[in-house]
């Protein structure tokens, strides 16, 4: 018997929708936009679809989320046992210091890594260091990397406190064997497939996780931030021995606006040069 499956969450949920539509048996997918694109006016339509679903996989949001009807407490109250809460897959242990910058008149500041910024580069610019010095600092990585993995594992574990299906135990086993995330909140397909396998098992759905991990064509790989050489050495990582960043070209910077172009790869110096082009307009004026 075919059952209706609804998956709520961020871009990771859209990836799982695609995986389940191709590699799960006897399910019909009810599709939703990512949570961050939903508005209060969407509540009635979303609730109506969720009521018709046989199974709901809902990605955890914080209790103070801007749409309170999407919190775990609210979904459990309205949907009961047919909802399974799963965590936001997030790990910044490879890339400590990755952050966003918000500025008056600019909003979320864009960058050659779309909207990610690197602490070594931003701090170097603010300290008056040259672009070449900033590149040296970025290549070397943070002075202390000892607690980067542990801190990120602890953060993920805290997010899992009120979920029904966890993922942190799997991540801890494989995190040093192969790269698991392109950026802190964009997991590789092997992570998403394992999350799907666990959700499917909880709901009694036949799901081919191995095929999803190896054959699903869509990836969250537009941006790639390699681990620093210090992180690679300290954790004896089997990857990221060459620092090549995948991002987008910066084609223009004017007051209040960064214009981004086509995807491209950067070595460390080229990436820092693009960051400095932005910061000379956004962080000085």
pLDDT value at position 146? Answer: 61
Residues 58 and 162 sit within 8 Å (Cβ to Cβ): no
Do 2 and 80 lie in a common domain? yes
Do 125 and 261 lie in a common domain? yes
Q: Is 231's pLDDT higher than 90?
A: no
CATH code of 69's domain? 3.40.50.12080
Q: What is the DSSP letter of 6?
A: E
Residue 56's φ and ψ, nearest 5 degrees, are: -130, 125
Domain of residue 68 covers 1-86
Residue 69's φ and ψ, nearest 5 degrees, are: -75, -5
Confidence of residue 144 (pLDDT cuts 50, 70, 90): low
Q: Is 285's pLDDT higher than 90?
A: no
pLDDT tens-digit map of 151-191: 899 999 999 999 999 999 999 999 989 999 999 999 999 99
Average pLDDT over residues 204-224: 98
Do 22 and 70 lie in a common domain? yes
Do 137 and 79 lie in a common domain? no
In angstroms, the CA 23 to CA 190 distance is 14
Residue 108: inside a domain: yes
Average pLDDT over residues 224-230: 89
Residue 27: inside a domain: yes
Do 24 and 66 lie in a common domain? yes
Residue 115: inside a domain: yes
In angstroms, the CA 103 to CA 174 distance is 37
In angstroms, the CA 80 to CA 65 distance is 20
- % of the chain at pLDDT higher than 90: 86
Do 128 and 263 lie in a common domain? yes
pLDDT value at position 5? Answer: 98
Q: Which of 59, 86, 113 is the last residue of a domain?
A: 86
Q: Which of 50, 65, 86 is the last residue of a domain?
A: 86
Do 31 and 134 lie in a common domain? no
Residue 155: inside a domain: no
Do 117 and 249 lie in a common domain? yes
Residue 204: inside a domain: no
Average pLDDT over residues 230-239: 87
Do 37 and 8 lie in a common domain? yes
Confidence (pTM): 0.93
Residue 208: inside a domain: no
pLDDT tens-digit map of 235-276: 889 899 889 999 999 999 999 999 999 999 999 999 999 999
Q: CB within 8 A of 37, min separation 6: which ones?
A: none
Strands 181-183 and 102-103: unpaired
Sheet with 27-30: list strands edge to edge: 27-30, 3-8, 55-59, 83-86
List the structure tokens of 204: 């009694």
Q: Is 145's pLDDT higher than 80?
A: no
Q: Name the burial class of residue 209, with classes exposed (0-12), middle (13-18) and buried (19+) by CB atoms within 10 angstroms of its CB.
A: buried
Average pLDDT over residues 42-50: 95
Do 249 and 277 lie in a common domain? yes
Residue 276's φ and ψ, nearest 5 degrees, are: -65, -35
Strands (E), the chain: 3-8, 27-30, 55-59, 83-86, 98-99, 102-103, 107-108, 117-118, 181-183, 186-187, 245-254, 257-266
Q: Is 71's pLDDT higher than 70?
A: yes
Average pLDDT over residues 196-218: 98
Q: What is the DSSP letter of 155?
A: H
Residue 52: inside a domain: yes
Do 231 and 126 lie in a common domain? yes
Do 265 and 234 lie in a common domain? yes
Indicate the average pLDDT of the chain: 94
pLDDT value at position 116? Answer: 98
Residue 267: inside a domain: yes
How many separate domains does the chain show?
2
Q: Which of 65, 86, 107 is the last residue of a domain?
A: 86
């Amino acid at each position: 018997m075919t059952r209706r499956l609804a998956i709520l969450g961020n871009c990771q949920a859209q990836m799982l929708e695609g995986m389940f539509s191709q590699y799960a048996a006897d399910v019909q997918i009810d599709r939703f936009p990512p949570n961050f694109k939903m508005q209060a006016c969407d509540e009635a339509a979303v609730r109506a679809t969720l009521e018709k679903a046989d199974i709901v996989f809902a990605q955890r949001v914080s209790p103070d989320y801007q749409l309170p009807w999407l919190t775990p407490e609210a979904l459990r109250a309205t949907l009961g046992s047919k909802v399974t809460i799963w965590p936001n897959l997030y790990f910044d242990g490879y890339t400590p210091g990755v952050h966003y910058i918000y500025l008056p008149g600019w909003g979320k500041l864009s960058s050659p890594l779309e909207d990610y910024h690197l602490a070594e580069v931003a701090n170097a610019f603010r300290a008056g260091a040259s672009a070449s010095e900033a590149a040296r600092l970025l290549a070397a990585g943070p002075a202390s990397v000892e607690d980067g993995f542990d801190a990120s594992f602890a953060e993920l574990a805290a997010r899992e406190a009120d979920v029904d299906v966890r993922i942190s135990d799997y991540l801890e086993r494989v995190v040093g064997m192969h790269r698991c995330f392109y950026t802190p909140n964009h997991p590789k397909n092997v992570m998403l497939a394992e999350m799907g396998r666990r959700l499917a098992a909880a709901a009694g759905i036949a799901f081919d996780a191995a095929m999803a991990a190896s054959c699903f064509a869509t990836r969250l790989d537009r941006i790639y931030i390699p681990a620093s050489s210090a992180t690679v050495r300290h954790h004896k990582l089997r990857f990221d021995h060459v620092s090549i960043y995948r991002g987008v070209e910066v084609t223009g910077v004017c007051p209040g606006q960064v214009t981004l172009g086509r995807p491209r790869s950067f070595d460390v110096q080229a990436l820092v040069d693009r960051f400095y082009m932005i910061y000379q307009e956004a962080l000085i004026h």
